[in-house]
A and B are shown apart, each in its own frame.
Chain A
Amino acid sequence: MKTYESYLSSMHKLGRVTGVIALFIIIAVPALTCWKFGIFPPLGNLMAGLGSLAVVFVPISLIEVMMYTPMAGIGGSYLLYVTGNLTNLRIPALMICMETAEVQSATEEGEIISTITIAASALTSTVIIALGVILLVPLTPVLSDPTLKPAFDNILPALFGALGVAWMGSSTSGFAQWKVAVVPFTLAVIVVMGMGGHAGKLIGILIPGMAAISILFARIMYKKGWIVIEPTLGDR
């Protein structure tokens, strides 16, 4: 049997090769379209636009990579950054499937379950979006029905409410997970109330901020021995 290390290094290879191909395809779509139709936006305007997007999205991406790659592991992370939809789809899928499989990130079983979960989620949403393109005409009146609007406007509260209960009520990490959520949750409510009730666009800053506070308090609780890891779960 090959070692886990050799599996990981071949996963890195697969991730990098497919990631580079993905990058090429992402660039090929506008490049080939411009070539085919003979339209070229002036480079100066393009660069100016790219610069103004980069100011916002380079820091956001950096924070996201630091937050989500430890959760998703190696195989999962490569897929995550090609297929997107992190907070609304893949990370929640990861949380719920890891709970059910009773595995943790940064272990061999966790790495495998994470890759499988993110791949299955990517396959599902990619197929659904393609079906949506094919069925666009009949689907449009149904999905844009004003009666259903409140349902889709509230999909994230519906997702995170249920996910919160499933995750906080569990102890897959080897301790009662609600313990690490108490301080960041209380603070998040207070901070957003201070902001007038809505984080809006500042949510991009709030997520890493709360993650940092959450880690700090978890560290204190861990050092004080308030969070006790069951020995069998310490390294699985």
Chain B
Amino acid sequence: MLDSVLFYFFGGVAVLSALLVVTRRNAVHSAVFLITALLATAGIFLQLRAEFLFIVQIILYAGGVMVLFIFVIMLVNLDVALHQLKFNRQTWVAVILAAALGGMTAFAIYFARHNQNSPVFQIPAAAAARLEPNTELVSRGLFHEYLLPFEIASVLLLVAMIGAVVMAKKKV
């Protein structure tokens, strides 16, 4: 019962603030609503008992990436953009194509769920218990099974950092 309440609350908040991100004229408002959407997603992670990912989402996204976004919005002068068109010319084509993609995928999910009375979509209680010490299991997987991708991710972050510094510099 509490699970459903939490899921529908956080899901509703996420979808609503995602819509506001896309439709607001002012980029600062969009950034604030993006923070709300990311925090609601963190709530979904917590409701799925992924505590480590919940903390990472809040610290890294809401704390790190969004600060970067706000900084760039303040560096870039947006007063002119407030009086210009929000959407480009192919808006309606894009909306129709996205709706078609969404309808197709929704049909696929619905069909897979209702076709062969598939038990695969119901979360078994035994599977949930196997995720129990969440942070320990994540770290064990990260440092045993996925050690090489983990190291490659650190190199990726280093490259991204150097690239961002080089590109944002005044004279290359």
Are the chains A and B members of one assembly?
no
**B residues engaging A (CB < 8 A)?**
none
**A residues engaging B (CB < 8 A)?**
none
